[in-house]
Amino acid sequence: MSSTTKEVHSVIKRILADERAYRTSLNYAVGYCRAGLTMSGHELKVQTLYILNNITHWRHADAKLVRKVLKEYKEEMKAVDHGDCPLCGEKVLDEFRDALSKREYEISGMCQSCQDDVFGRNESE
Ligand SMILES: [Zn+2]
């Protein structure tokens, strides 16, 4: 396990230590954080995105540092797996069904096929 992964786990623990915010600003972030503690590598990178998206209203003395560490990890992993899907590891072809899928790719890096597995295919089409 890289030191960076340890660093990410340690900031996740800082978030989880703020139990007073569980029912307010942290909300869904709590679940994402708990799951993130068991992850590393590509999986953890995707998880940091969900955590970052869910702590935007979190106010805490450590919040700035926590966000910085999570963002840096995200950027670092982006360089490592550029073009590869974090779930299946295949090279991601620029073939997306719609703007929503394309946007999801920009956030998580997931290929269309894995997005279909995770989110389910849009039946209205
Ligand atoms: Zn994939």
pLDDT at 58: 96
98: CB partners within 8 A, 6+ apart: 122
Q: For residue 108, how far is its CA from the centre of ligand 1 (angstroms)? A: 10
- Asked if 16 and 29 sit in the same domain, the reply is yes
- Asked if 124 and 75 sit in the same domain, the reply is no
- The structure tokens listed for 35 are 């799951």
- Asked if 43 and 5 sit in the same domain, the reply is yes
* pLDDT tens figures, 54-98: 999 999 999 999 999 999 888 877 655 567 888 888 888 878 899
Q: Count of domains in the chain?
A: 2
- Asked if 15 and 61 sit in the same domain, the reply is yes
- Asked if 73 and 113 sit in the same domain, the reply is no
pLDDT at 23: 94
pLDDT at 2: 57
pTM more than 0.75: no
pLDDT at 101 over 70: yes
- Asked if 39 and 24 sit in the same domain, the reply is yes
Which residue range forms the structural domain that includes residue 96? 83-125
- Asked if 95 and 34 sit in the same domain, the reply is no
Using a CB cutoff of 5 Å, list residues around ligand 1, an ion. Answer: 85, 87-88, 111, 114
